Structure 1
Amino acid sequence: MGVRSRWMLISVGLGVLLNPLNSSMVAVAIPRLRHVFQLDFTVVSWVIVTFYLASAAAQPIMGKASDVFGRKNIFLTGLVIAFVASLAAPLSPSFGWLIVFRIVQSIGTSMMVAVGLAIVRVHIEEKQAAALSVLSSFQSGAAALGPFVGGLLLHWWDWPAIFFVNIPFTVASFIFAWRTIPDDEPPRSSSRKTSLRSWLDVMDAPGVLLFTAGLIALLLGLLSAKASGHVSFIHIFAGLIGLALLAVFVRHEFRTASPFIPLRTFAKYPEITWVNIEFMIVNVLFYAIFFGLPSYLQEVRHIAEFHTGILMLALGLCSLAAAPLAGRWIDRAGPGPALFVSAILMTFGSVWIVTLNPASPVISVCVALAAFGISNGVNSVGLQAALLRSSPKEIIGVASGLFSTSRNVGAILSSLLISIVIGDVFNFAGFRLLGIILTVISVSLVIMNRRRREPGQWEKSKA
């Protein structure tokens, strides 16, 4: 890998870390925001929920846009949008405006995440797993280190700092990306005379609207049920509307000439679907620990925010350490063996949680954090490598966007799982039950990986 490629990876890494960093860092600021805006927990939690909703919807759309308008253009535009939103959010005159700027920030950071994998796929031919390990170190490390960084910023400054901290990352990434990411070849359909209607046809505007409306309605139904603590007719109705719109979306995609998500191509490469399903499952496991353990430490063990952030540092450090090692391993042996070992580690971490009791040393929590941190680093590299090997170049943008959406859906489902299992008041019995459920899920993942990882399965698709 040449010097230019390394600097290009750094520039992309500085951009893709912004989405997971901002989705996780704000979690420790919820109590402060409640006090500042004088709101209850249910209302303030939408500062997290809206970020995930916007990311889940925006990432595949931006991936498709990158296939049409160019990956470098989308990446740089995303950096500008994230920069503006990070400057404006601390100046919000009300909580409603803060939500608006969080949504804008989510869309901007989603633009970098959606094209990061595509840039690696197109511009780096050799040692792609090693390159992916660099991106994973930025992305998974930022997600895991977010609570620690947020706790540190809140301890020394105040909640606006969790937005201002994005500024140096956006500026550095923009400078490096402008100089190192090669310009994209103009799309075949591009022309100076191309009309807006033609671009909307290429982007499949009806498909985008159906997908966005259906996904948001479905997730809003789930998240509203979580926030209210019970399932009502309105929640069920919203979910059914979402499913109906997604069904219409699927029908539309099979009929249109230029589909937003090329379902026929995905059917030709079924491994893309399996990779996304597995990525969603592993993120349900990871984020259940990521969200659940800080609440356990603060609500059950009465550990301060700052010290909770220090303990959670084990998760981030293990992810960072595991990613480059996983990249070398996957370059030699393929993603199969690494993903199987990762599933075993998640099973061990889940079982460890079940064995904890209220008198267990707080430091023993780090054992589970280490197991999930290592598995997170391995999963990020392994499943990204599997996606690149199974995706043809012409759809890599939208495939990368859907892959990132799978992460967000997994995070949302994990939050819903915690709410259902534990209820309104976080307690040790509910936390142990959560560990049992995670054990069952992770054992199923071990079995699935054992059966699916056959020799030669992960061969690259021919574009």
Structure 2
Amino acid sequence: MNSRSRWLMISVGLGILLNPLNSSMISVAIARLQHVYSIDFTAVSWIVFSFYIASAIAQPVMGKASDLFGRRKIFLAGLVVSLVSSILAPFSPNFGWLIVFRIVQSIGTSMLIAVGTAIVRIHITEKQSDALAGLSIFLSGAAAIGPFAGGVLIQWWDWPAIFIVNTPFVVASFILAWKMIPNDEPAATVSRDMSFRKLLGVIDVPGILLFAVGLIALLVGLLAAKSSGHFSMWNIVVVLIGLVAVGIFVRHELKTVSPFIPLRTFAKYPGMTWVNIQYLLVNFLYYSLFFGIPSYLQMVRHVSEFQTGILMLTLGLSSIAASPIAGKWVGKSGPRPALIVSSLLMVVGAVWIVTWTQSSPVISVCLALAAFGFSNGLNAVGMQAALFKSSPKEIAGVASGLFNTSRYLGTILSSLLTGIIMGGAFTFTGFRLLGVFLTVIALVLVFISLRLRYSEQLDEPSTSNSNKK
């Protein structure tokens, strides 16, 4: 990788780390925000869920926008939106306004993460696996140190610091991106003299609205049921509205000339569909542990918050250490071997958790965290490479956005699973049952990894047929 490519990767990395950093730092601020705004735990938990929901919707939308209007413009705009929301959030007069700024922050950081990987794919053509490993270090590192950094910031200053800390990353990324990201022209389907009505058709506003309504209704209905502990008639109605909206969305996308999500292209490239399913399951398992193990340590083992944060660093540091190894391995052998080993490590880690007792030695916890961390590092590089190999370049933005939406859907499902299993209180029995469920998911991932074959020719749909084997 030459010097220009390296600086391009760094400019993108400093931007895309904002999304995982802000999604993980907030976890240690929940108790503080609950006290500051005098609200209950159910209400304050929407500071987390609103970010996930907005990210799940915004990332494919921004990916589509980048394919149409230019990736450089969307990336720089995302940095500006992220900066403004991070500066305004600490001045929120009430919790409702904090949620609004949090959603805006999610949209801004989603613009970066949806477009960033597409920029790397388009402009770094040599040693892409090394570039993916570099991006993985930014993403994994931000997610890993988020809770620890958030705890330090809140202890030394207060909760506004977890928003203000974004400023140096945004400024550095903007300066580098302005210089390093090449200008790109809007798509041929977009012209300056195009009427507003035709522009709305090219963007596919109806498709975006149907997608947003369907996903929001489904997630709000499920998350509200999780918060209340049961399905009410209101929850069922909202979920049904979501299902109907998704059905209409699919019908609309199959008929429209310029679809927001090209479903017919997914039919041509089935490997891309399987990669998204695989990524959803990976994050389903990973985030069940990311939030479940700290609760086990604190509520079952009665380990302090600080010691829990230190132990959880094992997960992040193992992931960071695995990323450059994964980059070399994927560059040499393709994504499949790394993803198979990653899935096997998940099986070992999940089975290991089932064998824990209420007094298992700390080294046992650390070894399990290391196994999952190393697995996550392999996945971060291998899954991105698999996406590149199974999707055409002309929809790089929307493919990247949908890929990251799969991540957030997995995250949300992990929260739902944990809530259903634990009920009103976190227990050791529930944690062990969670380990059983995660073992099953890990075995499914092994099966998928063994069965999939990733296309080497991105622009020839016929080659993707091998993905079905």
TM score, norm. by length of structure 2: 0.96
Residue 200 (1) aligns with residue 197 (2): no
Counterpart CA distance in 1 for 2:232 and 2:273 is: 32
Unpaired stretches in structure 1, ≥5 consecutive residues: none
Counterpart CA distance in 2 for 1:399 and 1:452 is: 18
Unpaired stretches in structure 2, ≥5 consecutive residues: 461-469
Counterpart CA distance in 2 for 1:398 and 1:424 is: 39
Residue 431 (1) aligns with residue 428 (2): no
Aligned partner of 1:27 in structure 2 is 27
Aligned partner of 2:45 in structure 1 is 45
Contact 2:278 2:448 in 1 (8 A): no
The correspondence of residues 177-196 of structure 1 with structure 2, limited to 5 A, is 177-196=177-196
Aligned-partner SS, 1:211: helix
Residue 78 (1) aligns with residue 96 (2): no
Q: Offset at 1:460?
A: 2.8
Aligned partner of 1:226 in structure 2 is 226
Contact 2:301 2:359 in 1 (8 A): no
Q: Offset at 1:445?
A: 1.4
- CA RMSD between the two structures: 1.1
Aligned partner of 2:116 in structure 1 is 116
Contact 2:29 2:150 in 1 (8 A): yes
Contact 1:28 1:305 in 2 (8 A): no
Contact 1:285 1:442 in 2 (8 A): yes
Contact 1:155 1:306 in 2 (8 A): no
Contact 1:335 1:458 in 2 (8 A): no
Q: Which whole-Å deviations, capped at 9, do the CAs of 1:115-159 have from their partners, x for residues lacking one?
A: 111101111111111111111111122112211111222222211
Counterpart CA distance in 2 for 1:288 and 1:432 is: 12
Contact 2:214 2:241 in 1 (8 A): yes
Aligned partner of 1:333 in structure 2 is 333
Aligned partner of 1:460 in structure 2 is 457
Aligned partner of 1:276 in structure 2 is 276
Q: Offset at 1:342?
A: 0.1
One-letter amino acid of the structure 2 residue matched with residue 401 of structure 1 = G
List, as ranges, runs of 4+ consecutive aligned residues in structure 1 with deviation greater than 6 Å.
Answer: none
One-letter amino acid of the structure 1 residue matched with residue 76 of structure 2 = L
The correspondence of residues 115-154 of structure 1 with structure 2, limited to 5 A, is 115-154=115-154
One-letter amino acid of the structure 2 residue matched with residue 245 of structure 1 = A
Aligned-partner SS, 1:189: coil
One-letter amino acid of the structure 2 residue matched with residue 5 of structure 1 = S
One-letter amino acid of the structure 2 residue matched with residue 79 of structure 1 = L
Contact 1:55 1:106 in 2 (8 A): yes
Q: Offset at 1:186?
A: 3.2
Contact 1:145 1:315 in 2 (8 A): no
Counterpart CA distance in 2 for 1:383 and 1:411 is: 16
One-letter amino acid of the structure 1 residue matched with residue 458 of structure 2 = S
Q: Offset at 1:200?
A: 1.1
Aligned partner of 2:100 in structure 1 is 100
Aligned partner of 1:406 in structure 2 is 406
Aligned partner of 2:264 in structure 1 is 264
Counterpart CA distance in 2 for 1:245 and 1:350 is: 36
Q: Offset at 1:363?
A: 4.1
Aligned partner of 1:365 in structure 2 is 365
Q: Which whole-Å deviations, capped at 9, do the CAs of 1:23-49 have from their partners, x for residues lacking one?
A: 111011111111111111100000000
Counterpart CA distance in 1 for 2:57 and 2:214 is: 10
Aligned-partner SS, 2:29: helix
Q: Offset at 1:192?
A: 2.7
Counterpart CA distance in 2 for 1:177 and 1:227 is: 41
Counterpart CA distance in 1 for 2:297 and 2:154 is: 18
Q: Offset at 1:422?
A: 1.0
Aligned partner of 2:10 in structure 1 is 10
Contact 1:391 1:460 in 2 (8 A): no
Q: Offset at 1:187?
A: 2.2
One-letter amino acid of the structure 2 residue matched with residue 385 of structure 1 = A
Aligned partner of 2:297 in structure 1 is 297
Counterpart CA distance in 2 for 1:89 and 1:361 is: 42
Counterpart CA distance in 1 for 2:197 and 2:374 is: 48
TM score, norm. by length of structure 1: 0.97
Counterpart CA distance in 2 for 1:458 and 1:318 is: 29
Q: Offset at 1:228?
A: 1.0
Q: Offset at 1:308?
A: 1.4
Aligned partner of 2:164 in structure 1 is 164
The correspondence of residues 345-384 of structure 1 with structure 2, limited to 5 A, is 345-384=345-384
Residue 209 (1) aligns with residue 209 (2): yes
Contact 2:67 2:186 in 1 (8 A): no
One-letter amino acid of the structure 1 residue matched with residue 110 of structure 2 = S
Aligned-partner SS, 1:275: helix
Q: Which whole-Å deviations, capped at 9, do the CAs of 1:268-306 have from their partners, x for residues lacking one?
A: 000000000000000000000001111112222222222
Counterpart CA distance in 1 for 2:155 and 2:370 is: 25
Counterpart CA distance in 1 for 2:305 and 2:155 is: 9
Identity %: 65
One-letter amino acid of the structure 1 residue matched with residue 444 of structure 2 = S
Counterpart CA distance in 1 for 2:176 and 2:143 is: 22
